[in-house]
Structure 1
Amino acid sequence: MTVLNNVWLLGAIRFFQSLIPAYVIERLFWEQRGMTIQMVVYTEIIYAVTVVLLEVPTGILADKFSRKSMIVAGAVLGCAEFFILVFATQFWHFAAVVVLAGIGRCACSGSENALLYDSLLAGGKEHRFEKAVGRLNVCDFISGMIAALCGSFLATRFGFELNYWLSFAGMSAALALSLLLHEPQVNSRTEEPLELKTYIKASLLFFKENPGVSLVVLSGTVTGAALHFIYEFWQIYLNRLDIPVIYFGLFSAGLMLLMLPGNMLAHALLRRFSSRTLLLAAVAVFAAGFTYIAAAKDYSGLAALLVICLFSGIVEPIAAGYLHHRTDSSIRATIDSFQSLGLNAVHIVIGLGFGFVSVRFDIFGGYGFIALLCGLFFGYFYIASQKSVE
C-alpha cells in the first residue's frame, strides 16, 4: 500500500466518522436527559478547555512519533464517547463524554492534515492539498446528510436511543479503517528530530514571523467558532420556531449540502480571487447573516442561516492551505494543533458570552451576540490584512 492510498482512506474514515444519526437529535436527546442550554454551554466549555490543554501536546506527539497512532487513538475514544452517551443520565456523564471527545479531537486534528499533506508531498502532489481538504469535507457532508435524513426518521419512529447505537457502529468502522493507514516519510528541512520544547518554540516563532498566516488562521478561527454555534444549537432554533422533529433531518442535510460547493470550488476560486478577498466576503456574510437571524425570529431567519453555511465552505480549505504550504513537515501537526487550540480558546470566550446572553434572551439573543463579534472582526481583518495577506 502506498502513502497516496492514505488520501482515500482518510476520506473513508471521515465518511464513517460523520455517519452519526445521533447528531440530528443530539440537543433534544440531551434535553430529554435533563441538560439545559446553560448546562450544554458548560459542557462546551469543558470540551474547549480539554482541547486547549491537550491540543499542542498531541500535535507534538504526532510530529515526534506517529500521526497514524494519534488518528487511531482518536477513533477509539470516539467509540467510547457514543457507548457512554447511551446510558448518560446526569451532568457528569455528559461532562465525561465531552472530555473524551476533546481528547479524541486533539489526537486527530493536527495529525489528519499533517498526514494528508505529507502523503501528497511524497507523491509530488502537494499542490492538490486544498482540493483534497475540500474533498474530505465533502465526504463529511455526504455522510452527514445520509445520517441526518435517516436519523430524523428513525428517531421519530423508534426513539432517540437507537441513533446512538448506530453512531457507535459508524465510529467502529472508522476505527477499523484507521488501522490501514500508512505512515508517510516526513520531508523536513531539519536533519535531526526536535526536542519537545523546541516544537513549541518553533511553532510560536513561525506565527510571529508570518503575520499574514496568523491573520488567515484567525479568520478561520472566528468563522469556525461562529459556525460551531449553528452546528450545536440549530435544533433548539428550529424547536423555537415550532418545526417538527421529522423535518430536522431534511434541514440538517440542507445545511451540509450548501457547504459542498465552497469546499469543492475553493481551490478554483483561489485562481481568480485572493485569499484576503474570499475571507473578507465570508466574514461579511457571517456578520450580516447572524444579525438577521437574531432580529427576524421567524422562518425567514432560516434563509440567512443557510446563506452562512453556503459561504462557510470556502473558509477551511483556504485557511488550511495557506497554513500548510508555508509550514515545514517536521512541525506540521504541531502548527495545525496551534490552529485548533486557538479555535477552542475562542470557543471558550464566545461560549461564555453566548450562554450568558441566551439565558436572558433565548437562542436569538445568543446569535445576536455572535453577529456583533463577527462584525467587529470584519473591521479588524479588513485593516490588518491589507499588506500581510495575499
Structure 2
Amino acid sequence: MVRNNLINLYLIKFAKWFNLVMPVVVLFYQDNGLSMQQIFLLKSIYSIAMVLMEIPSGYLADVWGRKKTLILGGFLGAAGMAVYSFSYGFWAFAAAEIILGVGYSFISGSDSALLYDTLKAAERDKEYIKQEGWITSAGNFAEAIAGVCGGLLATMSLRLPFYVQFGIASVAIPAALLLKEPRLQSIELNKSFKSTLNTVKETFQHPLLRSALLVSSFAGTASLTFAWFVQPYFKEAQLPVSLFGIMWTLLNLSVGVSSMFSYKIENKLGQRNSLLVIILGFAIGFFLAAWEVSLIGIGLLFFFYLVRGIAHPILKDYINRYTDSEVRASILSIRNFVIRINFAIIGPALGYLTDQFSLSLALIATGTGFLVSALLSMGPLWKANIQRSN
C-alpha cells in the first residue's frame, strides 16, 4: 500500500504544481480585455473561495475519507481548467477561479494527512519528513520545468497552455482513484461537524501541537509573502523581463533540492536546532533581500528559498506528530486557513509600504514580524527538543 500511495501522491502533486499557465496568465487576461484591477480581483476571489472551504474540506476529509476528497479535488481542478480553456470574459474566469479554489482546498491537507497515515499504518511514520520532502521536491521541480514549457507554448497561442493544463490537471483523477485508504481511516466516522470541531479544539489545546501549528503557519505566510516580493524585486533590480522565467525556475529548483535533504538535516540537528535554523534562516533571508536590491543581490534570494525547502517538510511533520489521525486533515486545513488569513491581512499593508516607501522597508517589516511571531510561538517545541533517528 505504501508504494502505491506514494506513486499516486506524486502524480497528484505533479498535476497540481506543473503549472503551465502561471508564466503567461497576466498576458492571457489582458489579451481577453481584463484590466489589472480585474486581474487582482480574480485572485481575491480565488483566495476567498479557498479560505471559505479550507476547514469544511478538512472536516470532510476526516469523516468522509481522504481518498474521496482527493478525488473530488482532482475533478474540480480539471473542471476549473476546462472552464478557463473555453472562456473569454471576467465572470467566466471568476467561475473558474471559484472552482479551482474549492478544488485546491479539498487537496491541501488531505494529501499530507493520507501520506502520514499511510506511513503510520505501516509503522514507518519516522520516514514522513523524508517522503514529504521528496514529494515537495518533486512539486517544485515540476513547477520549475512548467515555467519554461508554459512560456514556449504561449509563443504559439496564449490559450494553448490552458488546453494542455486541462490534460495535466486530469492526471489527478485516476491517481486519486487508485489511492488506498490506510486502516487508520478505513472505518467511517459518523461524527457531526460540531463534534469534529470540539475534537479539533481539544486537540489544539495540546501545547506542542499548538506551537507546531503556529510556527508552521507563520513560516507558510512568510513563504507566500516572499514569493509575491520576487517579481517586484526582479523589476527593481532591473533584471531583463526575458530572464524572469529563468530565474523563477532556478529559485524553485533550489527549493526542490533542499527539500530532498530536509529529513537528514532534522535527524542531524534535532528539533531544537532545526527550529533555530528555520526561524533565523527565514528572517535572515528577508533581511539579506532588503539589504541589496540589485542584479548581484538576486543571488541572495536563493538563501531564503533553500531554507524554505528545508522548513516545510519538517514543520508539517511536527504538526502530524502531535495530531490524532481522526482530525489530521482538519488540523492541516487550519494551518492553510491561517496562512491565507495572515496573508490577506498583511498583504495590503506590505503593498502600501512598497508603493509609498520602498521594497526594502517592506521586506524588513515582514522579516521582523515573522521573527517575533515565530519566536513567541516556538516555546513548547523548543523545550521538547526531541531528537529523532531513522
The question of a shared fold, defined as TM-score above 0.5 by the shorter chain, is answered with yes
Q: Percent identity?
A: 28
1:80 aligned onto 2:91: no
Bigger drift between 39-48 and 136-145 goes to 39-48
What SS does the corresponding residue of 1:277 show, helix, strand or coil?
A: helix
Structure 1 counterpart SS, 2:261: helix
Q: Distance in 1 between matches of 2:125 and 2:375?
A: 33
1:250 aligns with 2:249: no
Distance 2:370 2:183 in 1: 40
Distance 1:373 1:26, change over 3 A: farther
Q: CA deviation at 1:386?
A: 4.3
Distance 1:62 1:219 in 2: 23
**C-alpha contact (below 8 Å) 2:271/2:381 kept by paired residues:** no
Instruction: Name 1:204's counterpart in structure 2.
Output: 201
What is the rounded CA distance, in whole Å, between the counterparts of 1:47 and 1:94 in structure 2?
Answer: 10
Aligned to 2:191: 194
CA 1:151 to 1:191, structure 2 compared with 1: closer, same or farther past 3 Å?
closer
User: Aligned partners of 2:319 and 2:325: how far apart in 1?
Assistant: 12
**Which amino acid in 2 is paired with 1:320?**
K
Corresponding residue for residue 342 of structure 1:
338
Shift, 1:125, TM fit: 1.8
Rounded Cα–Cα distance in structure 2 between residues aligned with 1:290 and 1:248: 20
Q: Deviations over 1:248-275 (max 9, x none)?
A: 3321221122112332122222222233
Q: 2: CA distance between counterparts of 1:176 and 1:275?
A: 37
Pairing partner for 1:371 from 360, 367, 370: 367
- Residue matched to 2:8: 9
Taking the TM superposition and a 5 Å limit, the aligned residue runs for 1:144-183 are 144-155=143-154, 157-183=155-181
Note the alpha carbon deviations across 1:300-355, whole angstroms, 9 max, x for none.
33122211000011211111111112222122211221222222221211223233
- Conserved? CA contact 1:153–1:246, under 8 Å: no
- Which sections of structure 1, spanning at least 5 residues, go unmatched? none
Q: 2:162 corresponds to which letter in structure 1?
A: Y
1:184 maps to which of 182, 185, 195: 182
After TM superposition, the score normalised by the length of structure 2 is 0.87
Contact persistence 1:4–1:123 (CA under 8 A): no
Partner of 1:134: 133
Match among 347, 360, 383 for residue 387 of structure 1: 383
Structure 2 gap segments, 5+ residues each: none
CA contact (8 A) 1:207 1:214 kept: yes
Q: Report whether the alignment pairs 1:318 with 2:310.
A: no
User: Compared with structure 1, are the counterparts of its residues 167 and 246 closer, same or farther at alpha carbon in structure 2 (3 Å cutoff)?
Assistant: farther
Letter in 2 for 1:162: L
Distance 2:202 2:95 in 1: 35
Q: Which amino acid aligns with 1:198?
A: S
Question: For residues 234 and 35 of structure 1, do their structure 2 counterparts lie closer, same or farther at Cα, with a shift above 3 Å needed?
Answer: farther
Which SS does the other structure have where 1:158 is aligned?
coil
Cα distance in 2 between the residues matched to 1:327 and 1:382:
17
Q: Give, in angstroms, the shift of residue 384 of structure 1.
A: 7.0
State the shift of 1:220 in Å: 1.7
The 3-state SS of whatever aligns with 1:299 is coil
SS in 2 for 1:181: coil
- 2:199 paired with 1:223: no
Are residue 287 (structure 1) and residue 283 (structure 2) matched?
Answer: yes
Distance 1:368 1:93 in 2: 39
Greater Cα offset, 199-208 or 273-282? 273-282
Distance 1:207 1:294 in 2: 36
Deviates more, 1:164-173 or 1:292-301: 292-301
Q: Call closer, same or farther: CA 1:303–1:141 in 2, change over 3 Å.
A: same
Letter in 2 for 1:197: K
State the alpha-carbon separation in 2 of the partners of residues 284 and 141 from structure 1: 23
Give the equivalent residue in structure 2 for 1:104. Answer: 103
Distance 1:53 1:244, change over 3 A: same
Structure 1 segment 231-242 matched on structure 2, within 5 A: 231-232=227-228, 234-242=230-238
- Change in Cα spacing, 1:289 to 1:7, as seen in structure 2 (3 Å) is same
CA distance 1:304–1:51, change in 2 (3 Å): same
